[in-house]
Amino acid sequence: MEKLHFEHVDLLVIDPAASARETIKNILYNQGFRNLYLGASLDELQEHMSHAMPDLLISETELEDGDFCEFVTKLRHHDVGENPFLPVIGLTWEATPERVRSVVNAGVDDLLTKPLSTGHLVNRIKALIKDRKPFIVTSEYIGPDRRTLEERKSGIPQLDVPNTLKVKATGKEKTVDVVKAITSVVAEINVQKLERYGVQVCFLIEHILPNLENGVVDSTNEAFLERLLGVAKDTARRLVGTKYAHISELCDSLVKVTDSILATKDQPNDRDVKLLAPLSQAIKAAFVADDEQTTATVRQIHTQIDKS
């Protein structure tokens, strides 16, 4: 194995227990890490990352002042921080099925159980440098691909993401190049996310419509409508500057219609309900159609909305 150089790696360690922070610091210092930043809370984690992104985050997953897994999900979706591909190692005293599931679904690279073994921690860091898992993008998840070989037949492609930890530890690439790569892959992931959203919009509307057409909005339907509203809003936000920017008016219309249905859920407006199906079909088609076709569909739907 080639020699790794850790002296230029920026590493952030978050743990409420001072003894745990000191243990991790000593382990890593002995391995050659010199740029070590220590914190005790989610607030300190967020504060540090608002000023500078580390190359590796090692953090206790149970923090008293916030939800660490929610933070990682936001990180992966590029809602916080400048590098959604930051390698993340989570720590826990109890690797319960629920804890493991939450960590995995958030997009953490690895979960280690305390008390930490020096060899295990160092080996996991080296694995993130030498053999990090590629990422996948779905409507709800962005992170390391943990699918089985059979599940990978679904057609969702893998992405090799930029890794500043690897760049600094091996010295094989220039930091400026990896920064450019982060921007490029973020844009690619954004497009993939939009395409997954297009599929999810159709799925949600397909499951919402039967009850709505019968004038029924139960708790399940309301949850689907809330999710549809969230997807429509996030899609509109992500469309800016992409090759799918021409779909934005359709998403704005979907937000308006879904908002109206939620506001009148005790007695949904028939016009709103009838617009969901054509909106779904139009958004699905718009991801494969050209601007001219989409523009015509947008005009037609806006005409129906304006008649109300």
At residue 215 the predicted structure's pLDDT band, cuts being 50, 70 and 90, is confident
Give me the pLDDT at residue 176, please. 73
Superfamily of 10-173 according to CATH: Response regulator (3.40.50.2300)
**d(Cα 252, Cα 240) in Å, to the nearest integer?**
13
Is the pLDDT at 292 greater than 80? The verdict is no
Q: Which residues on neighbouring strands pair with residue 5, listed in sequence order?
A: none
Provide the percentage of residues in the chain whose pLDDT is more than 70.
93
What is the phi/psi pair of residue 112, to 5°? -110, 145
Whole-number average pLDDT of the chain:
90
CA torsion, ordered 187, 190, 195, 196, to nearest 10 deg = 140
| Spatial separation of the C-alpha atoms in residues 91 and 115, rounded to whole Å | 9
Asked if 268 contacts 215 with a C-beta cutoff of 8 angstroms, the reply is yes
SS3 62: strand
Residue 246 pLDDT: 81
pLDDT band at residue 177 under the 50/70/90 scheme: confident
Amino acid letter, residue 133: K
Rounded to an integer, what is the distance from CA 27 to the centroid of its chain?
A: 31
pLDDT at position 1 is 53
- Residue with structure tokens 């806006």? 302
Record the tokens describing residue 232, joined without a space. 């429509």
Closest CA to 227 of 250, 209, 206, 200: 200
7-60 confidence digits (pLDDT tens): 999 999 999 999 999 999 999 999 999 999 999 999 999 999 999 999 999 999
> The tokens of 203 are what?
């799925």
Going along 115-224, which residue ranges are E strands? 135-137, 142-144
Cα dist from 147 to 60, 92, 134, 143, 156, whole Å: 25, 23, 11, 11, 10
Token pair in block for residue 205: 């509307």
- pTM here is 0.84
Strand 88-92 and strand 110-113: pairing?
Answer: parallel
Question: 288 or 242, which is more confident?
Answer: 242
Q: Which two tokens stand for residue 195?
A: 């395409």
Distances (CA, A) of 285 to 87, 203, 228: 36, 14, 18
The predicted model gives 219-247 an average pLDDT of 90
Backbone CA torsion sign across 171, 177, 183, 185: negative
Alpha carbons 47 and 282: distance in angstroms, whole number: 42
DSSP per-residue letters across 17-56: -HHHHHHHHHHHHHTT--EEEEESSHHHHHHHHHH---SE
pLDDT of residue 294: 57
